[in-house]
Amino acid sequence: MRDERIDRMHGACCKLAVQPVLQRSGKTMAADLKARFEQAAEDVKKLPERPDNDTLLKLYALYKQGSEGDVSGPKPGFFDFVGTAKYEAWAKLKGTRQDEAQQKYIDLVKKLGG
């Protein structure tokens, strides 16, 4: 009986001791992702070749979703073809978490050679 109480107390202490470490590592992981996202944003400017328009739209949308979240503001006018294409590409990512969009952006830039 006595040993069980000690084991339960020890288990509770361990949980409390480990929890702040996990929280700190979560913040570190988020900071690391943000740093890699920012680096990818710089690397994309130095790609050996200009990506095709569909890939550029995907890069734009992932960057916007990763940095700002869901699309906001009014859709550009009918004759603003480029603005409309960008808006629609970003709108397709609505609901995607920012950290997920950041990781997809990083992966795409690496795939393109950045």
- What pLDDT score was predicted for residue 114? 72
CB 53 within 8 A of CB 82: no
Is the residue at 12 inside a domain? no
Q: Kindly state the helix (H) or strand (E) to which residue 51 belongs, with its residue range.
A: none
Is the residue at 13 inside a domain? no
Q: What is the pLDDT of residues 35-85, one digit of tens each?
A: 999 999 999 999 999 999 999 999 999 999 999 999 999 999 989 999 999
Is the residue at 42 inside a domain? yes
- What pLDDT score was predicted for residue 7? 56
Closest by Cα among 56, 73, 69 to 95:
69
Is the residue at 4 inside a domain? no
Alpha helices in the chain (DSSP H): 2-43, 53-68, 81-91, 98-111
Q: In CATH, what number is assigned to the domain containing residue 45?
A: 1.20.80.10
Q: How many structural domains comprise the chain?
A: 1
Q: pLDDT higher for 18 or 95?
A: 95
